[in-house]
């Protein structure tokens, strides 16, 4: 089976991925903040669902498929050396750093910090994914 082509190419593709990443970040930041302030599951569900919808759309724009095909492999491989390893480690540090930023955002009741934490996490995820597979998502 051949790899699907993304529906957009060039600058429009990357702008759509960037826009999707911002949408995911803001929606997740709102969801986390609402939940931390005691909102019910029913009240948080719409923004949480929109977060996942934004991720799936962004994934489609980046890869041409909504979800990746499964793999029988459960191996975790860190790139051997060089820039790939550096990118993988930098992305991992970004993902880990996002957690305390998000916690502070909840404490400060700041959607800017909770959305920023999600953005840092996603950028770390994209960096790590690219270093390991040469694809953004």
Three-state DSSP state, 136: coil
Kindly report, residue by residue over 42-84, the tens digit of the pLDDT: 999 999 999 999 999 999 999 898 887 766 676 767 888 899 9
Q: Which pTM does this prediction carry?
A: 0.86
What pLDDT does residue 26 have?
96
Q: Which residue has the higher pLDDT, 74 or 25?
A: 25
Can you tell me the mean pLDDT for 107-127?
Answer: 95
The pLDDT score that the predictor gives to residue 132 is 87
Closest CA to 88 of 133, 22, 55, 24: 133
End-to-end CA distance of the chain: 19
H or E segment to which residue 22 belongs: helix 10-36
User: Rounded CA gap, 14 and 18, in Å?
Assistant: 6
How far apart are alpha carbons 24 and 69 in whole angstroms?
22
8 Å CB contact between 124 and 87:
no
Q: Confidence band (pLDDT; 50, 70, 90) for 1?
A: low
Hey, where are the domains in the chain? 10-69+77-133
Q: What is the pLDDT of residues 119-136, one digit of tens each?
A: 999 999 999 999 988 888
Q: Are 97 and 120 in contact (CB under 8 A)?
A: yes
pLDDT bucket at 117, cuts 50 / 70 / 90 = very high
User: SS3 for 63-83, per residue?
Assistant: HCCCCCCCCCCCCCCCCCCHH
- Residue 135 DSSP code: S
């Amino acid at each position: 089976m051949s790899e699907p082509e993304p529906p957009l190419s060039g600058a429009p593709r990357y702008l759509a991925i960037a826009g999707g990443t911002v949408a995911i970040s803001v929606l997740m930041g709102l969801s986390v903040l609402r939940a931390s302030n005691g909102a019910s599951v029913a009240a948080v569900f719409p923004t949480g669902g929109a977060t996942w919808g934004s991720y799936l759309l962004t994934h489609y724009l980046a890869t041409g498929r909504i979800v990746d095909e499964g793999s029988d492999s459960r191996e975790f491989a860190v790139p051997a050396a060089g820039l790939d390893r550096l990118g993988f480690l930098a992305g991992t540090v970004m993902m880990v750093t996002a957690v305390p930023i998000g916690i502070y955002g909840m404490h400060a009741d700041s959607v800017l910090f909770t959305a920023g934490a999600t953005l840092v996490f996603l950028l770390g995820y994209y960096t790590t994914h690219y270093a390991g597979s040469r694809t953004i998502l």
